[in-house]
Amino acid sequence: MDRQRPPDLVTPVTPGTAGPPFPLVFTQMLTPLAERFNRLAEHGLQAVARRLGLDPPLGSPARVTMAVELAPSLDQQVIVPAGTSFSTAPSGGEPRQSFTTLRDATLYSGTLVTAGVLPATSHATGAAVPLAPLAQGAVAGPDECILLVLSRPLPEMTCVLSLPFHPSVPLDGLRWEAWEREGWVPCGASVPVSLPSQAPRFHVLVPGSHTASVFPATGTQPERQGVGLLRCRPAPGGSLTLVADTVDLQVCGDVTAVQGEVIPDEYLGHSDGSAGQSFELRHQISTTHMRPRLEAVRGTRTQVWTMVDSFANSTARDRHFTVDPVANRIRFSPDPLRGALPSADSLLRIPSYHSGGGAAGNVAAGAIVILDHPRAEISAVTNPQDATGGTDPQPSASYNTLSGITASAATALEIEGLVTAGGFGIAAAHCQPPRPGDTMPLLRLSLLPFAQPDGQGRLTPAELLPTADIQATVRTGLGPRLPAGTGLEFVDFPMSEVCATVTVRARPWSSPQDCQNLARAAAAALHRYFCPLPGAGPHSRGWPIGRCPDTGDIHQALADLTDLEAVESAAFQPPGETHLETAVSVTVDAHGLVYSGRHTVICLDSDGQLAATFTG
């Protein structure tokens, strides 16, 4: 029988002798337990991990901004409903990746009613509008503008405009503005390169405040109600000369899509009215971007149930449920005082939930070009920037790294692990070193919250700072787990701004539009690479704390761009500078991070001629 006994976890101590110190006893207990834990089968690892409160990271879906090009001459509101799916084109035998919208999006399309030269001081909605029609040789002087009258306002849409400017007109100083109620507000716009063979194409981002106006009658146009107004002004002291009288307008809008699909109308079965009942889902659920709701139907009565993270704050009347993504099950409260229970014989259904994810969804810019269910109102779709954020599930082999995280936190690793795994919305946490003169135990903790970049991948420094609410939540959750007498102070990460100037060469046969897209995509890739959040950085786990970037990182950030032939030159610049002769190195504090400022990308065609420039 003695041979079948497992070895003692602690070396026996002879009565009457001094025992080993407690840290040694604890180590003797923990080491064999960890060895046995790592020998468990897959289902055992999962079961023990859940009992210990360890939630191994699951796969997360990639997210992407889709540019939807609306059909020409379309003048209407276009609804892109939740569940609209896009996919990549088949390539080299790789499986197709699908992306789905999770919310309805409203896009607007309009047509060009008229355009002309107007004094910049004139009010377009006044009684008299001295609008001179566009014509070959027409000139808009320093105090004039080119007014574009659209059939409707286009808030938050991108107007792609081809204006026949003379090649001598400098394009980098043009000012684009939109009419907002009683004044003009600036628009965002790219700076194209004027080519002899075609008119420059401007991508003008119309602000969300674009409002309807009344355009008075002119000599050639009747009065128009509900129009949208845009104007282009020359650089200070400059002028605009036209070589033709035609203006082309194409309207595009952005929608957000997530890797995977939306599963509609799934019936879970009938409730038996008992506490703690659970129901398995047919598809692997993902709640990262979409929290499902549940309906309990009995006769003609339907009750709606809401997903919560736990039943800790639920009352007996709250219709709440939780989702166990590891077991892929819907669970109701095991305690009738902490969450209501669906009545017996109720039919349970989920109207829709999201399923899908994985690192394979991090596809390159321009890879998603298929609208799975074509519509007459949409002429083309694409993703101007890479899809980001997709991760694969953590394999069970790495559970042993989680087993070191306990309910208490005495080391920096345990503290950082508890904060990032505690559901506080924290992407990274770092314990700053003690300072000379500290007279009491004090934890100085830096927090990096999760944040959502814009369509170009940009984040502001303010978005990388935790709010007071986040700090209070972390303090409440972490404080009781710290050693007794330890104070907690939040300090900001030391942040270093990264600004790069890069010259790239496009592949042969790239069109001018391809070169413009390459310049924008290169800037977006730099923003996503020099970013502290997970999914960025040299290893896609966020920028490493204390690591200084070098020019090799610029090359790595741009390595997978479509239409890129070569990176001709790359350098870091001081914030606000864009000249290679002022190149500098970027210094990062030993306990700091980096974030992207403004990047400038100069794109050359295959012959080495300037084709596009983008700064942003």
Q: What is the per-residue pLDDT across 335-354, written as a single tens digit (0 to 9) for each?
A: 888 899 999 999 999 999 99
Same domain as 580, residue 536: yes
Task: Kindly give, in sequence order, each residue whose CB lies less than 8 Å from that of residue 15, ignoring residues fewer than 6 positions away.
Answer: none
Give 136-140 contacts, CB < 8 A, sequence gap 24+.
136/242, 136/243, 136/244, 136/245, 137/241, 137/242, 137/243, 138/241, 138/242, 138/245, 139/239, 139/240, 139/241, 139/242, 140/233, 140/234, 140/239, 140/240
Is residue 67 in a domain? Answer: no
The reply to whether 499 and 435 lie within a common domain is no
pLDDT of 86 over the 90 cut: yes
Mark out the alpha helices in 421-569 (DSSP H runs).
468-478, 512-529, 551-557
Instruction: Give this prediction's pTM.
Output: 0.59
Q: How many domains does the chain have?
A: 5
Least confident of 229-243, 332-346, 381-395, 403-417: 403-417
3-state secondary structure of 525: helix
Confidence of residue 262 (pLDDT cuts 50, 70, 90): very high
pLDDT tops 60 at residue 398? no
Asked whether residue 442 is domain-assigned, the answer is yes
Work out the burial of residue 220: count CB atoms within 10 Å of its CB; fewer than 13 is exposed, 13-18 middle, 19 or more buried: exposed
Residue ending a domain, choose from 291, 324, 355: 355
Rounded to whole angstroms, how far apart are CA atoms 193 and 188? 17
For residue 561, what are the CA distances in angstroms to 3, 365, 369, 520?
Answer: 63, 7, 16, 11
Q: What is the pLDDT of residue 403?
A: 43
CB 262 within 8 A of CB 100: yes
What are 468-505's pLDDT values in tens digits?
A: 888 888 888 787 777 777 788 899 999 889 999 999 99
Task: Name the helix (H) or strand (E) containing 268.
Answer: strand 261-270
- pLDDT, residue 6, reads 52
Pick from 227, 251, 275: which residue ends a domain? 251
Indicate if 561 and 527 belong to the same structural domain.
yes
Cα-based distances in Å from 15 to 18, 278, 324, 503, 517: 8, 52, 49, 77, 79
- Percent residues over pLDDT 90 in the chain: 24
172, 591 in Cβ contact below 8 A? no
Enumerate residues 6+ apart whose C-beta is below 8 A from 82. Answer: 101, 102, 103, 104, 262, 352
Position 581 pLDDT exceeds 70? no
Average pLDDT, the chain: 82
Q: What is the pLDDT of residue 35?
A: 61
* Residue 86 · residue 102 · CB < 8 Å: no
Q: How much is the average pLDDT of 211-239? A: 82
Are residues 553 and 441 part of one domain?
A: no
247 and 132 inside one domain = yes
Model pLDDT for residues 426-483, shown as the tens digit of each residue: 888 888 888 887 777 888 889 988 877 776 777 888 888 888 888 888 888 787 777 7
Nearest residue to 111 via CA among 79, 82, 75, 85 = 75
Please compute the mean of the pLDDT values over residues 196-220 and round it to a whole number: 79
Q: Is the pLDDT of residue 370 over 90?
A: yes
In a domain, 573, yes or no: yes
pLDDT of 269-322, one tens digit each? 999 999 999 999 999 998 888 889 999 999 889 999 999 888 878 889 999 999
| Structural domain containing residue 142 | 109-251
For residues 59 and 405, the model is more confident at: 59
Helix (H, G, I), strand (E, B) or coil at 140: strand
- The verdict on residue 366 lying in a domain is no
Q: Is 328 exposed, middle or buried (0-12, 13-18, 19+ CB in 10 A)?
A: middle
For residue range 135-161, what is the model confidence (pLDDT) as tens digits?
Answer: 888 888 888 889 899 999 999 899 988
152-173 per-residue burial string, b: 16 or more CB within 10 A, e: under 16: bbbbebbbbbbbbbeeebebee
Please give the share of the chain, as a percent, with pLDDT higher than 70: 83
Confidence class for position 404, pLDDT limits 50, 70, 90: very low
- 573 is written with which tokens? 């610049």
Q: Does residue 99 sit within a domain?
A: no
Is 88 contained in some domain?
no
Same domain flag for 481 and 584:
no
Task: Say what the pLDDT of residue 220 is.
Answer: 66
pLDDT for 270: 93
> pLDDT value at position 373?
93
Give the model's confidence band at 31: pLDDT under 50 very low, under 70 low, under 90 confident, else very high: low
Q: Is residue 563 part of a domain?
A: yes
Same domain for 535 and 592? yes
Q: Are residues 305 and 284 in the same domain?
A: yes
* 130 in the same domain as 6: no
Let me know the angle formed at the C-alpha of 292 by 290 and 293, rounded to the nearest 5 degrees. 145
- 319 and 291 within one domain: yes
User: What number of CA atoms fall less than 13 Å from residue 48's CA on the CB side?
Assistant: 18
Examine the pLDDT at 238 and tell me if it is beyond 90: no
Q: In this structure, which amino acid lies at residue 122? A: S
- Smallest CA-to-CA distance from 387 within 560, 217, 605 is with 560
Confidence at residue 265, expressed as pLDDT on a 0 to 100 scale = 92
Query: Which of 118-127, 241-250, 497-506, 567-576 is predicted with the least confidence, judged by mean pLDDT?
Result: 118-127
Q: What is the 3-state secondary structure (H, E, C) of 226-251?
A: EEEEEEEECCCCCCEEECCCCCEEEE
Q: Is 231 exposed, middle or buried (0-12, 13-18, 19+ CB in 10 A)?
A: buried
CA distances 338 to 280, 314, 335, 467, 489, Å, are 22, 5, 5, 29, 34
Say whether both 542 and 572 belong to one domain: yes
pLDDT band at 402 (very low <50, low <70, confident <90, very high): very low
For the four alpha carbons of 266, 272, 275 and 278, in that order, the dihedral sign comes to negative
Q: Classify residue 216 by burial, with Cβ atoms within 10 Å: 0-12, 13-18, 19+.
A: middle
283 Cβ neighbours under 8 A, 6+ residues apart: 263, 266, 353, 355
**578 pLDDT exceeds 60?**
no
Q: Are residues 539 and 425 in the same domain?
A: no
Crossing angle of the two packed helices 468-478 and 412-420, in degrees rounded to 10 = 120
Q: Establish if 421 belongs to a structural domain.
A: yes
Count of CB atoms situated within 10 Å of the CB of 590: 10
